[in-house]
Chains A and B, each alone.
Chain A
Amino acid sequence: MQKADIIKIVSILAFIVLAPVLGGLLEGIDRKISARMQRRVGPKITQPFYDVLKLFNKEYISVNKKQLFLLLSHIFFVVFAGGLFFGGYDMLMVFLSLSTASIFMILAASSTHTAYTGVGTVRELVQMMCCEPAELLVAVGFYLASAVGGIHYASLGLANDPSFMVKDLINVDKPAIMYMPGFFIAFVFILTIKFRKSPFDLSTSHHAHQEVVKGLTAEFSGGAYAITEIAEWYEEVMLLGVVALFFVTNNPISYIWAALAVIIVFFLEILIDNTSARVKWDLMFKASWGVILACAGTNLLVLEILPQVLRH
C-alpha cells in the first residue's frame, strides 16, 4: 500500500470515529456560549453526550416504523459524504451525497403525516432548496480556483489541471479564499441554514421556542432521535471542514489559519443565532438565493475571466 492510501484510510477512519466526539463537544460549547450570551450558566460541555445516551436508553416509540430505516439511510449518507470529503474525494460527490442524505431525512419525517412534521417537512424542503445552489457552486468554485491558485499561478502560463478532488485542493500554492471570497460569503450564509440557527431555523430548531413544536423531528423519539442528533454532529464537522478548505494550502502553517477561520465562523454562527429572530420562509428564500447569486455568481464570472487575463 502506498503512503497516500494509508493517509486516506486513516483520515476516513479518524473522521468516522472522532467526528461525533468533536461534533458533540462543539454542540456543548455552542450551548455554553449561547447560555452566557443569555446570561445563564448553561450546561456542562459534555452534556450533549449524556443527552444522546439517555435517548438511546429510552423505549423506542414510533408513529410509523418506516422512519427507522430511512433515518439509518440518512446517517449513512451523511457519514459517507464526510468520509468522501476527508478521504480526499470529489467535492461534487460530497455534496451530492449530502443532498441524498437530506432527502432520506425528509422522507423519514413525512412518513408520519402529522401536522407539525408536515409543516416542518415542507420548510426543510425549502431550506434544502436554499442551500443546494451554494453547495454546488462552491464545489465549482474550488475547481476553478485550483486552476488559478495552483501551479498555474506560480509559473504564469503553464496551466494547472483543475480538479474537484479534495486531495488536490489542499495542495495549492495560494489559499482558495484569495480567489473565492464571494463563494465563502455564500457558504457561510447557508451554514446558518445548515446548522439550523436562527434566523433560519424554520424546519426545526435547537431552541425551545419553536412554533411548530419540533417541526421536522417532532415524531422522532428515543434511538431514532439520537440518530438524527449524531448525524447532525457528523454533518457539522464536515461542513466546518469545507470552511477550513478555503484556507488550506500546501504550507502546513496554513492549517493554523484554517483552524482560526473555523473558530471564527463557528462563533459568528452562534452570535447570529442569539441576536436574530426567526424569519419567514420567503425572506429566507429570497435572501439566500440573492446572496448566492450576488456573491458566488459574481465570483464565478471573475474566476472564469481571470485565467484569460492572467494569460495575456
Chain B
Amino acid sequence: MIDMAHVVALLICVPLVFAVLIAIIPDDKIRGIIVYIGGITVMAGALYAAYLWLFKLSKAANNTFIEFDLPFNKYFNYATLIGDVVLMVVIIFLSFKHKKHIICLLSLIQTAVVCWVEFKGPKVEECVSMRFDNLTMIMVLIIGIIGSLIGIYAVGYMRGYHVHHKEFKDRRSFFFAMIFVFYAAMFGLVTTQNIMWLEFFWETTSVCSFLLIGYTRTEEAITNCFRALWMNLLGGLGFAVVIIISAYKFDTFNLHDIINGNALTSKYGLICLAALAFAAVSKTALFPFSKWLLGAMVAPTPSSALLHSATMVKAGVYLLIRMSPVMGDTRVGTVISIIGGFTFFASSLLAISQSDGKKVLAYSTISNLGLMVACTGVGNSETMWAAIFLMVFHAVSKSMCFQSVGAIENSTGSRDIEDMQGLMCRLPKLALVLLIGMAGMYLAPFGMLISKWAALKSVVDSDVVFLVLFIAFGSASTMFYWTKWMTKIVGNSEEREKDVTQSNEYISMFVHALIAVCVVASLPIISKKLVLPYIVNATILKFGDITVNPNMYKQFYTELAPLNEGNLKVMVIMIAAVIIVPLFMYFISRGATSKNVVGYMNGINTGDNRHFVDSFGNEKELHVSNWYMEEFFGEKKIFVPAVLIGVILCVILIGVSLYGLGGVR
C-alpha cells in the first residue's frame, strides 16, 4: 500500500512526466493517446488520494488533518528553489523578447526575496511541508477530475480548432504540456503548507496561464498574456512580503501557523493576512484585476475552461477559504468582503452588455468569484459553507458552459449569443449541456439558492451592510443576463445543423453532466462528512491551536449541525421543485392536443414564424434581438470606474493592515 506522501508526490510529479512526454512527441495521434492516458492517470491519482483520505486516514486523524513530508523532501525543496529561478529566467527572457521590460522587475523582486531568505535569512525552523484535510481533498478532486476532463476535451477541440484557424501556428505539443504542468502546480498548491513552496506553485500557475493565453501569438494574445502576467506577479509580491515577515518575525514557514496564531494578535500577522488576501484578489481576477481574466479568452476555449473552472482562479479562492475564519474577525476580512461584493455586483452589470458568449461567461466567472470572496471575507461558518459549495458547483458548471460554447463555435462558426437563436432545435445535445451548465450557475439547485439564500442569510448577520445591497442588486442583474441568454436557446428555429463535435468532447461534457448530478445527489453527504467537519476544525484552529481538541470539536459540531440540516432541507425542496416539477409538467402536458398555428405578426407572417412580408412585398427574415443596454451597462461606462473603485479598495486593504486598524473588529 502506498501512503499519502507517495500519492501526493506522484500527483505532483506524474503530470510533469506526461508534460515532458507530450512536449517531445510531434505526432498528433500518439500525443492524443498520451493525453488520454495522462488525464486518466491524473484522475485516478486524485480519486485514490480521496479514497485514501476518506476511508483510511481521516478517521485516524479524528476528521481533522494530517501532516507529512514528501519522500525526498529535501530534493523537492531544492526543486522549488531552482524552479523559482527558472521561472524568473523564462519571464525575463520573454519579457525582453516582447519588450515588456518592466515586468521582469516584479519577478526579480519575488525571486530575490525567496533566495535571500533561503540563503541569507535567519535559520527558520523546518516545517512539515504537506497537509491534507477535507478542503484539500475537495480541491484535489476538482483539479483531478474537472481538470483532466478538460484535457481530454481539448484533444478533440484543438483538432477542430486548427482546421478552422489555419492562420495560427500549430503548437499543440506545447499547449498540452502546459496543461499538464498546470495540474502539477495546482496539486502542489493545494497540498503544501510551506509558504516557500506555496509561492513557487503560485508563480508556476501564473506563468502557465501566461503561456496558455499567449498560445496564438497574435498581437492581441501577446498584450493580454502579458497583462495577465504582470497582474498576477504583482499579486505574487504579497507572498514576498509574507515570506520576509514569517522568516524574521515568526520563525516559521507554515502557512497555518502564520495565519492562525498571529493574525489576531500581532500587527505583522495582520500584514501577512492582508498580503495573502491581496495575492488572492489578483488571482481571482476581482476588481481592479479583472481585465486579465477577460483578456484570457483570446486563448483556445479549453484553456479558458481550465483557467475559469478547475485551476488558476480557484487557487485564489482556496487560499481565501483557508484564511476565512481568521478574516472573519478582522477588518481585513471586511475590506475583502466589500471587494468581493462590489465585484459581484459590477461584473454582473457588465455581463448584461455583452453579446459574445465567452465574454458573458468570463464576466459571470468574475462575478461569481466575487460572491465567493465576499463569503470568505465575512468568515462565519455559514458563509464558509456557502463559499465552498459555490466553488464546487462553479467548477463543474462553468467548465460545462465553456466546453459547450466552444463546441458550438466549432459547429456554427460563431459564439455570439445573437447567433444562438433556437439552439435547442439546431444542436440539441450541445444546447442541453449549455442549459444544464447555466442552470447550475444561476438557477436552483445551486447557483440561485446560494447566491441569494445562503449568502444573504449569512451576510445579514455580519456588520457589512453594503454586502446585502450588493447581493440584492447583483442577483437581479445576474438573473437578467442568464435568462436573456436562455430565452435565445430555447426559442424556435430552423432545422437541425451539422454537429461537428468530436466524441471525446462529448464524453467530457456528459461526464460533467453526470458529475453535476452526482454532486447534487450526494450533497447531504458531502455537506455532513466533508464540509461541516472542515468548518468546525477551521473555526477551532483559528485561535492558534496546533491540534483540535475533540471535546471542543463535538461542541462546535453540535452548534453548527442545525445550519447544515436547515440548509439541506431547503436544498432538497429546491432540487425537487426545479428539476422534478418541469419534468412532471412536461409529461402531463404531453398528451394535450393542440392545433399548431403560426405566430401573430399582423398578418404578414409568411408561415414559418421566421420570415415576414416587408412593404415591398418581399420576404424578409425576422430577427428578434436581445437587449444589451450599452448606454447603461456598457464596458465604456462601467469598467474604468469599477477598476478605480477596486484600486481604492485595495489601497484601503493595505492601509488598514499597515496602520494596525485591521485588528479584531
Taking the complex as formed, is A11 at the interface, i.e. its CB lies under 8 A from any CB of chain B?
A: no
Give the CA-CA distance A275 to B449 in the complex, in Å. 39
Contacting pair B609 A114 (CB below 8 A): yes
Contact of B585 among A59, A73, A293, A301 (CB under 8 A): A73
B582 touching A70, Cβ below 8 Å: yes
Question: How far does the Cβ of A217 sit from chain B's closest Cβ, in whole Å?
Answer: 11
CA–CA, A231 and B449, complex, Å: 23
Asked if A103 and B609 make an inter-chain contact with CB atoms under 8 angstroms apart, the answer reads no
Q: Are B599 and A73 in contact (CB under 8 A)?
A: no
Residue of A nearest to B463 (CB): A304
Contact A107 B487 (CB under 8 A): yes
Docked-complex contact B453 and A72, CB < 8 angstroms: no
**B555 on the interface (CB 8 Å rule)?**
no
Q: Is B597 an interface residue (CB 8 A)?
A: yes
* Contact present for A65 and B594 (CB under 8 Å): yes
| B96: interface (CB < 8 Å) | no
Q: Contacts A104-B582, A112-B492; is A63 near B577 (CB within 8 Å)?
A: no
Of A94-102, A193-201, A259-267, which stretch is located at the interface? A94-102
Q: Which residue of B lies closest to A118 (CB)?
A: B624
Task: Please give, as numbers and ranges, the residues of chain A lying within 8 Å of B448 by CB-CB distance.
Answer: 96, 99-100
A45 near B: Cβ within 8 Å? no
Compute the total of residue contacts between A and B using a CB distance below 8 Å: 184
Asked, given contacts A68-B592, A106-B483, A125-B484, whether A133 binds B473 with beta carbons under 8 Å apart, the answer is yes
B112 at the interface (CB under 8 A from A): no
> Which of B590, B597, B631 is close to A63, meaning CB atoms less than 8 Å apart?
B597
Assess the B491–A297 pair: CB atoms within 8 A.
Answer: no
Q: Is the CB of A128 within 8 A of B479?
A: yes
Q: What sequence of 0s and 1s flags, for each residue 487-531 of chain B, a beta carbon within 8 Å of any chain A beta carbon? A: 110111100000000000000000000000000000000000000
User: Which residues of the partner chain A approach B593 to less than 8 Å between Cβ atoms?
Assistant: 60
Q: Tell me if A218 and B484 are in contact (CB < 8 A).
A: no
Q: Which of A1-9, A137-145, A245-253 contacts B (4 or more CB under 8 A)?
A: A137-145
Chain A contacts with B in 117-143, Cβ cutoff 8 A:
117-119, 121-122, 125-126, 128-133, 136-137, 139-140, 143
Tell me whether chain B's interface is mostly helix, strand or loop, or mixed. Answer: helix
Is A113's CB under 8 angstroms from B480's CB? no
Contact between chains at A77 and B479 (CB < 8 Å): no
Bound state CA distance, A63 and B612, in angstroms? 16
Q: Judge if B632 is at the interface, Cβ distance under 8 Å.
A: yes
The docked-state distance in angstroms from the alpha carbon of A192 to that of B22 is 63
B120 at interface, CB cutoff 8 A: no
If over half of A's interface residues share one DSSP class (helix, strand or loop), that class is named, otherwise mixed; here it is helix
Contact of A100 with B577 in the complex, beta carbons under 8 Å: yes
Is A189 in contact with chain B by the CB < 8 A criterion? Answer: no
Report whether A114 and B597 are in contact in the complex, using a CB–CB cutoff of 8 Å.
Answer: no
Shortest distance between the CB of A74 and any CB in chain B (Å): 9
Candidate in A103, A128, A162 with the most chain B CB atoms within 10 angstroms: A103
A-side interface residues, number (CB < 8 Å): 66
Query: Do B491 and A113 touch across chains, with their CB atoms under 8 A apart?
Result: yes
Q: A62 is contacted by which of B421, B596, B626, B631 (Cβ under 8 Å)?
A: B596
Chain B residues with Cβ below 8 Å from A72 are 585, 588-589
Q: Are B585 and A164 interface neighbours, CB within 8 A?
A: no
Which of B48-56, B84-92, B166-174, B464-472 binds A? B464-472
Nearest residue, chain A, Cβ from B596: A62
Confirm or deny: A255 has a beta carbon within 8 angstroms of a beta carbon on chain B.
no
Q: Are A285 and B609 in contact (CB under 8 A)?
A: no
Q: Is B610 an interface residue (CB 8 A)?
A: yes
Within the complex, what minimum Cβ distance (angstroms) separates A218 from chain B?
6
Given contacts A60-B594, A93-B453, A133 and B600 within 8 Å (CB-CB): no
Chain B, 430-471, CB within 8 A of any chain A CB: 443-444, 448-449, 452-453, 456-457, 460, 463, 465, 468-469, 471
A229 to B626, CA, bound (A): 26
Contacts of A130 on B, CB cut-off 8 Å? Answer: 476
Q: Does B601 contact A (CB under 8 A)?
A: yes
Whether the pair A77, B577 counts as a contact (CB closer than 8 A) is yes
Does residue B581 face the partner (Cβ distance < 8 Å to A)?
yes
- B570: which A residues are within 8 A, CB to CB? 90, 93
| Any A CB within 8 A of the CB of B151 | no
Q: How far is the CA of A48 from the CA of B476 in the complex (A)?
A: 32
CA distance A297 to B469 in the complex (A): 7
B119 an interface residue at 8 Å Cβ cutoff? no
In the bound complex, CA of A137 to CA of B605 (Å):
44
In the bound complex, what is the Cα–Cα distance between A122 and B123 (angstroms)? 65
Bound together, the chains give a CA A119 to CA B622 distance in angstroms of: 13
Q: Which of B599, B626, B631 contacts A113 (CB 8 A)?
A: B599
The docked-state distance in angstroms from the alpha carbon of A173 to that of B598 is 58
Could you tell me if B594 and A100 are in contact, using CB atoms closer than 8 angstroms? no
Complex alpha-carbon distance, A183 and B588, angstroms? 41
Say if the beta carbon of A76 comes within 8 Å of chain B. yes
A97 to B601, CA, bound (A): 33
Is B60 at the interface (CB under 8 A from chain A)?
Answer: no
Q: Is the CB of B472 within 8 A of A133?
A: yes
B194 nearest CB across to chain A (Å): 42
B440 CB, nearest partner CB in chain A, Å? 14
Across the A-B interface, the 10 shortest Cβ-Cβ residue pairs = A118-B624, A114-B599, A132-B476, A110-B487, A113-B492, A72-B585, A69-B585, A68-B589, A69-B586, A133-B472
The 19 listed contacts between A and B (C-beta, < 8 Å) are A62-B596, A62-B597, A65-B596, A96-B574, A100-B444, A100-B578, A103-B483, A104-B582, A112-B491, A113-B421, A113-B422, A113-B624, A114-B605, A114-B622, A122-B484, A128-B480, A132-B476, A133-B475, A218-B600
A-B contacts besides A64-B492, A115-B612, 13 pairs, CB < 8 Å: A63-B596, A69-B590, A73-B585, A92-B456, A97-B577, A103-B443, A110-B487, A110-B488, A112-B491, A118-B624, A119-B624, A140-B468, A213-B600
